[in-house]
Amino acid sequence: MSRIAYVNGQYVPHSRAFVHIEDRGYQFADGVYEVFAVHHGRLIGQQGHLDRLAHSLAALQIDWPMGKRPFMVAVNEVVRRNHVTNGLVYIQITRGVARRDHGFPAQCESALVITARKMPALHKPTLSKGINIITIPDIRWKRKDIKSISLLPNCLGKQQAREAGAFEAWMYNEQDEITEGTSSNAWIVTADGELVTRDVSHSILNGITRLAVLEAAAAAGLTFSERAFSRQEAAEAKEAFITSSTSHVKAVTRIDDAPVGNGHIGEMTARLLDLYVAYIEEKGGPVKTDRWS
């Protein structure tokens, strides 16, 4: 069955889904994106994704291509037309098509593309198996809170991870603090048992999955710290994991080729994976979705 994409008001076969060469997304990476997980036929973290998208658009002064209600109708329609029960929806909004000039065009209609793709259903044993990660310098710009389509440093980092036989790369800043993964948020349980993920600022993208895990942890009475943690703390951590809409809660069992803890998924990580799945199945995603930077 052929895939269907939404491109600027039309549903078209994926193989014939094109945008103009002077779309500013293509020319300047002048746009933003969102990735929603679809879990058992339900969009996860809908409000959070909408709020974060609004934050990214406002930061770049890009207009919504349409109202939020018709926007969600289009998103759901792409999911329906592609028969996605488990998978993801990709949404990209750019400033639109204009003669090439760095400054914003006086008049431009923002452009919207939506695609959806099936993925294997969330599978706890696979997420529990654990992944290897490497650490690399964070060479990105200073507004990581904006979900910009300008992803070259992230792509270079992910490629470096792949070439090292790893699944993800955690980036560290000039203070030797871990910021986040190339497409995920970073978490550790320190040697002293403290659950830690970096606090929200311009230094990270505040993940919808991160927010859901924090809410699920709080609801279960678990304590955590939102603070910067160093590469050294990560190296000495008892447990580590990543969160994202596509990786959910995935255990990290090796960092820079050294085992994390005993080299298997930790107790806290396993608990948070269970809590997270129960939370999104009950609530549909994080409830508080207003802190992006």
Ligand X SMILES: Cc1ncc(COP(=O)(O)O)c(C=O)c1O
What minimum distance in Å lies between the beta carbon of 200 and ligand X? 11
Secondary structure E strands in 73-183: 87-94, 111-118, 131-137, 168-172, 177-181
Q: What are the tokens at 285?
A: 């995603």
Nearest CB to ligand X, comparing residues 79 and 98: 79
Nearest CB to ligand X, comparing residues 213 and 237: 213
The residues pairing with 249 across neighbouring beta strands, listed in sequence order, are: 243
What minimum distance in Å lies between the beta carbon of 173 and ligand X? 14
d(Cα 189, Cα 267) in Å, to the nearest integer?
A: 10
Task: Say whether 147 is catalytic.
Answer: yes
User: 147, 158, 238, 250: which one is catalytic?
Assistant: 147
Q: What are phi and psi of 269, to 5 degrees?
A: -65, -45
Q: Which residue has the tokens 């009475």?
A: 221
| Residue 106 CB partners (closer than 8 Å, separation 6+) | none
Long-range Cβ contacts of 267-271 (<8 Å, 24+ apart):
267/239, 268/189, 268/195, 268/222, 268/239, 269/128, 269/189, 269/239, 269/240, 269/241, 270/128, 271/220, 271/222
What minimum distance in Å lies between the beta carbon of 183 and ligand X? 4
Nearest CB to ligand X, comparing residues 110 and 209: 209
- Quick check: 239 and 268 in contact, CB under 8 A? yes
Q: Which residue is nearest to ligand X (CB)?
A: 207
Residues near ligand X (CB under 6 A) are: 35, 180, 183-185, 205, 207-210, 243-245
Query: What is the number of helices (H) and of strands (E) in the chain?
Result: 8, 16
What minimum distance in Å lies between the beta carbon of 37 and ligand X? 8
Q: What are the tokens at 52?
A: 């974060």
Nearest CB to ligand X, comparing residues 131 and 208: 208
Q: Classify 124 as helix, strand or coil.
A: helix
Where does residue 174 rank: exposed (0-12), middle (13-18), buried (19+ CB within 10 A)?
A: exposed
What minimum distance in Å lies between the beta carbon of 146 and ligand X? 11
What minimum distance in Å lies between the beta carbon of 35 and ligand X? 6
Nearest CB to ligand X, comparing residues 98 and 133: 133
User: End-to-end distance of the chain based on CA atoms, in angstroms?
Assistant: 41
Nearest CB to ligand X, comparing residues 27 and 209: 209
State which H helix or E strand residue 81 sits in: helix 68-81
Catalytic residue annotation: 147
